[in-house]
A and B are shown apart, each in its own frame.
Chain A
């Protein structure tokens, strides 16, 4: 066994014994010739790996903001009542162990939970009762679990659909036969494809850089870690069009000369593993993967799926690479692009699921076709996952350039007020901005739109985000690790109603410090929405703050400050 196989090895123990024991750690450490604490460090980084025994069924209930608004608390209480367990506790219960988890990519069907990674959606307390009863009776998870498929609610008319059109395996790949890698790269470049994972980096530039690197080995990584709360568009692509994404990977391998590929699949999507692996096998059987692909001499490429283990930051490309290498998923310093120094130091292309799928469609359909769709700078279509206070949550493939208003209309949003674009790391918009267009020229969107109506507490939304970042920071750099904790303290102050205009000013200043100094995107963007919301929802916050105090006393909640003492005295009398 070598280091790169570590994550799989840990999964083996986790699946077999329900936890990773002292003994297991010692065994692995010995095999790898490293100290035990190093293994401990990796196990404790991922929240699906446990160091204490768990029950036969591990229940992960999603605590994202959409879930919170759709009844998270009742469902949590129902699970505790029915199982007799407490969330977050390793107790004696042989059957159940309960944990909260961040977004599991089922925002259109919240509240949702994973039980041994089988999905259970649209939960109600009654449903929870039935599920637990069924499990106690020994029913099989496979039969009682829900269908996690997200409904495709909208596709562009007039043959403008790019993704959700008919797919036939190998159509795009056939074109490789009579085009050189340079030709293919040129097509991607002309189509102006930009990464769909959030950073919108020009894909052709990335692939070209890898192509030109003198690296003894090159790797292609498909980033299927989709952890941004409220995002489930990659899940839908993986579920409906796994082949398309794989073709995209093969195309990038053709261009760059890489011989190995990984699909880094988040563990939350374990239920898609079988499908993806079957598709890979089909590709192999059809000579679309393996050696001399399509009969092109020396065009060898193989893909392997790596399951994540629960860490949002592993979606960040350098953290993902660290995780693949069997290390803690800590983001690297930004000295090199992965194409310069990637997996095991080799040139590596990391792209999002949708980016690969889009690349395949571009090759299949041609740039002439693609460029008739979208806006001058954003060509083609975009897959969006829409959730929240809408009547029709689900997947929307839209032509770039559609306005927020049109989208809200399509998904039948009810009195939308606070709309989150691209997840908590993205930006929030208010009603004035609903005329903005989703495209590079105006409002760029990575794939998630969460709609909140005007009955939803903005403070709750922001607190949920901040807690998420606070827990999901990789913890390696000060501003992100400490900053998010500090911001959470400020939000608590808003909640308590003892917040002043100065507190809000400070949130903005401190957010700026985090943005400037954090090592990776997580810390850089974690205060974004919070800071933005203060301006965009000024009226709301003006009502929350306490006006300046003449006597120079700072707002202080005396009652809260003595409540511990009061209750203690009462109890001990």
Chain B
């Protein structure tokens, strides 16, 4: 086949004529994110996360076969943001609780979230109740995580050629369902293959899912993060005045606070430049001063959370949501797909330990009211920064804080991103 030349972002590239753009770009050192694209399948063109512009018109990159003279845009600010937005849509459409997901660390979608730098989603999470189907023989299908990319539909067949997966319904109700009869015919190897080609954690094989420990997973990047040397900061920035920090844990597990303490002796260093006001760390209950920065762990699950959060907004110049719960609800938001009534009845009235007619749903004017769902903090007050992770690493948190307090710019490298 003959080589042709085309342009990507103004740069001349060459590749074999008719090669898929994704591969062609790769050969020329340019990365285009993909999810549904799969080596030998015809372009599926379902996820749209590979959107590029061809001669000025937006198209799914994976559906382009390169030809002479093509003018392709990949990394313009508009396209970078658009692709990020598509991924964010996937996060809000499904229910992606990464910390409790078997695929976490091996998940292509999650990794693209890191690559594109998603700290929080601009879209509201939809929290639609979706089923996890464990009825098949070998496979469990978790609809919360399926992005309807169709890879499994095209790729997974029984030995006698039957499809195992197929889309059902349409519109917002579309989902990818499994055929029990055909699934039963799959060999273990075929089932594992299905799990592997799924770019998310939607397809799991019973007894096969927790195979790798943290750190060994496909997308675990092991970069030791060093604390920023304070001496450097001190010289250039620090005036005599210490910066004042407040922290709180709303609807979280205190894990983020534990993580904050995880810098060990580094905390002494920190005390040289910052002073803590209201915080569980100091046990100061009320703001006694206006603060420079407020760190919020956890989202809002009751009216008290909202009051505290609003108080923080009033008393802090900069507010940071720390961790997944603060950013979008996190694990407590698992209840968001169920009506509140069901949750409360299940825990207080119908639980194993509650005696009939003996228990009530706690309520008193002194105790806060439970909200109909868990809200992310940025839906209640303006949040200035988000630090993803469950929990974020200690150095990561303090580096962000120090950067914000003492430098104009702050950036954290994407490999430091974690949703679990």
Q: Is the CB of A473 within 8 A of B303?
A: no
Closest beta carbon of chain A to B229's beta carbon, Å: 33
| Contact of A436 with B by CB under 8 A | no
Q: Which residue of A lies closest to B123 (CB)?
A: A486
* Assembled-state Cα–Cα distance A40/B178 (Å): 11
> Which residues from chain A contact B370 at a C-beta distance below 8 Å?
562, 565
* Assembled-state Cα–Cα distance A479/B163 (Å): 26
Q: A475-B170, A561-B371 are in contact. Are A37 and B59 (CB under 8 A)?
A: no
* Assembled-state Cα–Cα distance A343/B285 (Å): 71
| Contact of A67 with B by CB under 8 A | no
Give the A interface residue count (CB, 8 A).
58
- Render A502-513 as a binary contact track against B, CB cut-off 8 A, 1 for contact: 000010001001
Q: Give the contact stretch, choosing among A89-97, A185-193, A450-458, A550-558.
A: A550-558
Closest beta carbon of chain B to A456's beta carbon, Å: 26
| Contact of A569 with B by CB under 8 A | yes
Q: Give the contact stretch, choosing among A328-336, A349-357, A535-543.
A: A328-336
| Contact of B126 with A by CB under 8 A | yes
CB-contacts of A22-39 with B (<8 A)? 33-38
Q: A478-B47, A517-B58 are in contact. Are A553 and B381 (CB under 8 A)?
A: yes
Q: Give the contact stretch, choosing among B306-314, B385-393, B402-410.
A: B306-314
| Contact of B382 with A by CB under 8 A | yes
Q: A37-B178, A517-B51, A554-B379 are in contact. Are A333 and B45 (CB under 8 A)?
A: yes
Q: Is the CB of B381 within 8 A of A552?
A: yes
> Which residues from chain A contact B177 at a C-beta distance below 8 Å?
37, 40-41
Closest beta carbon of chain A to B327's beta carbon, Å: 15
| Contact of B280 with A by CB under 8 A | no
Closest beta carbon of chain A to B174's beta carbon, Å: 3
Q: A34-B163, A45-B170 are in contact. Are A475 and B148 (CB under 8 A)?
A: yes
Residue of B82, B165, B371, B379 near A37 (CB, 8 A) is B165
CB-contacts of A203-239 with B (<8 A)? none
Q: Is the CB of A489 within 8 A of B48?
A: no
Q: Is the CB of B380 within 8 A of A477?
A: no
| Contact of B340 with A by CB under 8 A | yes
| Contact of A481 with B by CB under 8 A | yes
| Contact of A572 with B by CB under 8 A | yes
> Which residues from chain A contact B306 at a C-beta distance below 8 Å?
556, 558
> Which residues from chain B contact A517 at a C-beta distance below 8 Å?
48, 51, 58, 60, 82, 86
Q: Is the CB of A562 within 8 A of B122?
A: no
Residue with the highest number of chain A CB atoms closer than 10 Å, among B48, B63, B92, B179: B48
> Which residues from chain A contact B339 at a C-beta distance below 8 Å?
564
Other A-B contacts than A552-B381, A568-B341, 11 sampled, CB-CB below 8 A, are A35-B182, A36-B181, A44-B169, A329-B170, A334-B63, A473-B172, A489-B126, A517-B60, A517-B82, A554-B380, A562-B372
B residues near A (Cβ < 8 Å) are: 43, 45-49, 51, 58-60, 63, 82, 85-86, 89-90, 92-93, 122-124, 126, 147-148, 150, 161-174, 177-179, 181-182, 303, 306, 310, 313-314, 339-341, 344, 349, 360-361, 363, 369-373, 375, 378-382
**25 examples of A-B residue contacts, CB within 8 angstroms:** A35-B162, A36-B179, A37-B165, A40-B166, A45-B168, A45-B169, A328-B167, A471-B171, A473-B170, A476-B46, A477-B48, A478-B47, A478-B93, A481-B93, A481-B171, A481-B174, A489-B124, A489-B126, A517-B48, A517-B51, A554-B380, A554-B382, A561-B372, A564-B340, A569-B361
